Structure 1
Amino acid sequence: MAGYNLKDKSAIITGGASGIGRAIALNFAANGAHVHILELAHEHALQTVEEIQSNGGKASAHQCNVASHEEVKQVVDTIAGGQTIHILVNNAGIAHVGNLEKTSEEALDNLYNVNVKGVYNCMFACISHMKNSGGGVILNMASVASSVGIADRFAYSMSKGAVLTMTYSVAKDYIGDNIRCNSISPGRVHTPFVDGFLAKNYPGKEEEMFQKLSKSQPIGRMGTPEEIADLALFLCSDKAGFITGTDYPIDGGYIKLNS
Structure 2
Amino acid sequence: TPSLSSEIGNRHDDVTIKEAGDGNLNFVYIVVATRASFIIQQALTYERCIGESLPMIIEGKYFEAVTSKEHGGLCHDYVPQLDHLDRTIGMQCSEPPHIILRKGLITAIEYRFLSEHMFEYMVNSLFYGSLLYRPTTEDKCAAAVNVFVQWLNVVGMWNSVGSIYKEWRLKTIEQTWDLFHQKLNKDESGKAYLPAIYNLIQEEYMKELFHDTLGFGVAKMIRRIGGVDHVEDFESIREGSIRADSEAKALELANSHLKEKQQFLAIGEVISPIMQVQS
Larger Rg computed on CA atoms: 2
Task: Please say whether Structure 1 and Structure 2 have the same fold, judged by a TM-score greater than 0.5.
Answer: no
**Normalising to structure 2: TM-score of the pair?**
0.38
Q: Which has the higher contact order (CA 8 A, sep 6+)?
A: 1
Per the normalisation by structure 1, the TM-score is: 0.40
